[in-house]
């Protein structure tokens, strides 16, 4: 027992003396959590600039412009000719250009069905989608209003006119993230990425430092011998400190007004699965690569594409099978899928069992690999 306590104290001393690990493990989660929370705190985009080219300059075109301006998402700038429109997109960053044609009002009155041209700037998909949807709703509402008004002028009752224009109604309801808040959707997933990164890097640097400073065989290995014991000694201090990091990240949810009403046992199991699996992965890299710099480089190669591969934003169902297979070897993929279920679907522990199983398989694989490496490397180093 005394040996165990001494070894744990030694790990804490090594941690405190390594400013890089200290900054990565404690500073990075808090800094990135706050920074990224501030980036996405607005949750929704609004006041997107669009350009309306009003070539008709009539009461009807003014009505269309007013409808567009009333949309919360849009901010309208009006030009009365098409000169230098494309240049304006580059210099002023317009998300869309709406062109109202010449004789727009006259053609409506004469039932010639004029066409409003909407060109959406899809250089950035997110604001483009918001702008396109807002324009569609505004102009669609105007279109319906004009048609209904035209029918009522023929003597048709308003109720009948509405029914004649609209053969059936459509009711849209949002599930889970009802406000379509981007902060609620993305930020918790990014925190998962941060947790994976810091635990993997911290564990990789832990063993690699021992090997670089030649203390692995002289100080650490003679006092542990048992691979399972060695993994526990190296991991336990980070797990204990990780509780503080998790508590700090958890406190950011009410700070940024992100709802976090989840099944408690399911969330604990999912976090434990992520942390344990990335810990084992980090130990494997640090045992196999006795250099802090190279171990960090290898883990960055693994971690950098992990969020993209996870399916959190671009769905796994739309990726090639071999990419999906690769994604399933990364702990973050299973964690983020489970997190989505817990946060948005109200899932329980049983519902996230497939994700927990994935984390368990990864953990077992790297535990066995660590055992083999721990038994093999000391013999190679002693030769």
CATH number (domain holding residue 111): 3.40.1710.10
- 31 and 53 together in one domain: no
- 142 and 267 together in one domain: no
By residue range, what is the domain housing residue 147?
Answer: 48-165
Phi-psi region of 83 (alpha: psi -120 to 50; beta: other; left: phi over 0): beta
Number of compact structural domains in the chain: 2
Q: In what order do the strands lie in the sheet with 96-100?
A: 74-79, 48-54, 96-100, 117-120
- 92 and 207 together in one domain: no
Q: For 74, list phi and psi in degrees, rounded to 5.
A: -110, 150
Tokens of 377: 């490397």
Under 8 Å between Cβ of 274 and 195: yes
Among 136, 165, 194, which residue terminates a domain? 165
pLDDT string in tens for the chain (383-residue length): 677 888 888 878 877 877 777 887 888 888 888 888 888 888 888 889 999 998 888 889 899 899 999 888 899 988 887 776 777 777 788 888 899 889 888 888 888 888 888 888 888 888 888 899 999 988 888 887 877 777 677 777 767 666 666 665 666 777 777 777 888 888 888 899 888 988 888 887 777 777 777 777 777 777 777 888 888 888 888 899 889 889 988 888 888 888 888 888 999 999 999 999 999 998 888 888 877 778 888 888 888 888 888 888 888 888 899 999 999 999 999 999 999 999 888 889 999 999 999 999 999 999 999 999 888 876 655 55
> Does 136 fall in a domain?
yes
> Does 281 fall in a domain?
yes
CA 271 – CA 72 distance, rounded (Å):
38
- 204 and 330 together in one domain: yes
Residue 290: Cβ within 10 Å count: 18
Q: Which of 127, 256, 276 is nearest to 190 (CA)?
A: 256
Residue 376: Cβ within 10 Å count: 12
CA 378 – CA 219 distance, rounded (Å):
12
> Does 174 fall in a domain?
no
CA distances from 277 to 195, 258, 262, 302 (A): 12, 27, 22, 14
Kindly report the CA angle at 137 between 136 and 138, in degrees rounded to 5?
95
The pLDDT assigned to 373 comes to 86
CA 163 – CA 166 distance, rounded (Å):
5
Residue 33: Cβ within 10 Å count: 23
Tokens of 15: 């941690």
Among 165, 194, 226, which residue terminates a domain? 165
Under 8 Å between Cβ of 330 and 309: yes
> Does 226 fall in a domain?
yes
Tokens of 330: 């990364």
Q: For 119, list phi and psi in degrees, rounded to 5.
A: -110, 120
Tokens of 67: 């409808």
- 142 and 204 together in one domain: no
Rg (CA), the chain: 29
- 145 and 283 together in one domain: no
Give per-residue burial for 70-92: e unless 16+ CB within 10 Å, then b. ebebbebebbeeeeeeeebbeee
- 208 and 322 together in one domain: yes
Q: Can you give the pTM of this predicted structure? A: 0.83
> Does 173 fall in a domain?
no
The pLDDT assigned to 336 comes to 93
- 253 and 294 together in one domain: yes
Pairing of strands 74-79, 96-100: unpaired
> Does 250 fall in a domain?
yes
> Does 32 fall in a domain?
yes
Tokens of 370: 């660590």
Alpha helices (runs of H) in the chain, residue ranges in sequence order: 2-17, 19-22, 28-40, 59-70, 85-92, 104-109, 125-153, 158-165, 182-212, 221-224, 227-255, 264-288, 292-303, 306-309, 321-327, 331-344, 353-382
> Does 176 fall in a domain?
no
- 129 and 275 together in one domain: no
- 16 and 88 together in one domain: no
The pLDDT assigned to 218 comes to 75
- 150 and 188 together in one domain: no
Place of tokens 């007004």: 257
Among 138, 165, 192, which residue terminates a domain? 165
The distance from CA 53 to its chain's CA centroid, rounded to whole angstroms, is 36
The pLDDT assigned to 275 comes to 94
- 93 and 199 together in one domain: no
């Amino acid at each position: 027992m005394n040996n165990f306590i001494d070894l744990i104290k030694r790990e804490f001393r090594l941690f405190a003396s390594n400013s890089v690990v200290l900054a990565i493990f404690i500073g990075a989660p808090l800094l990135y959590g706050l920074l990224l929370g501030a980036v996405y705190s607005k949750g929704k985009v609004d006041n997107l600039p669009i350009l309306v080219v009003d070539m008709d300059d009539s009461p009807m075109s003014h009505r269309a412009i007013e409808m567009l301006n009333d949309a919360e998402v849009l901010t309208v700038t009006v030009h009365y000719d098409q000169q230098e429109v494309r240049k304006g997109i580059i210099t002023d960053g317009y998300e869309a250009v709406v062109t109202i044609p010449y004789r727009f009002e006259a053609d409506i009155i004469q039932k010639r069905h004029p066409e409003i041209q909407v060109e959406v700037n899809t250089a950035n998909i997110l604001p483009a989608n918001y702008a396109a949807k807002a324009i569609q709703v505004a102009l669609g509402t105007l279109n319906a209003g004009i048609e209904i008004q035209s029918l009522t002028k023929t003597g048709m009752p308003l109720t009948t006119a509405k029914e004649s224009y609209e053969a059936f109604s459509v009711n849209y309801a949002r599930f889970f993230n009802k406000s379509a808040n981007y902060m609620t959707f993305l930020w918790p997933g990014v925190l998962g990425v941060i947790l994976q990164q810091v635990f993997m890097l911290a564990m990789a640097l832990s063993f690699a430092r021992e090997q670089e400073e030649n203390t692995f065989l002289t100080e650490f290995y003679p006092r542990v011998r048992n691979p399972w014991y060695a993994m526990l000694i190296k991991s336990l201090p980070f797990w204990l400190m990780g509780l503080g990091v998790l508590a700090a990240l958890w406190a950011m949810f009410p700070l940024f007004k992100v709802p976090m009403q989840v099944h408690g046992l399911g969330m604990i199991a999912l976090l434990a699965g992520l942390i344990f699996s990335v810990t084992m992965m980090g130990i494997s890299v640090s045992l196999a690569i006795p250099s802090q710099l190279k171990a960090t480089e290898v883990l960055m190669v693994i971690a950098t594409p992990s969020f993209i591969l996870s399916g959190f934003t671009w769905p796994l169902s739309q990726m090639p099978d071999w990419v999906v297979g690769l994604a399933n070897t990364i702990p973050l993929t299973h964690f983020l899928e489970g997190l989505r279920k817990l946060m948005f679907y109200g899932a329980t522990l049983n519902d996230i069992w497939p994700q927990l199983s994935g984390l368990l398989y990864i953990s077992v694989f790297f535990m066995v690999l660590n055992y083999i490496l721990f038994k093999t490397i000391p013999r190679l180093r002693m030769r």
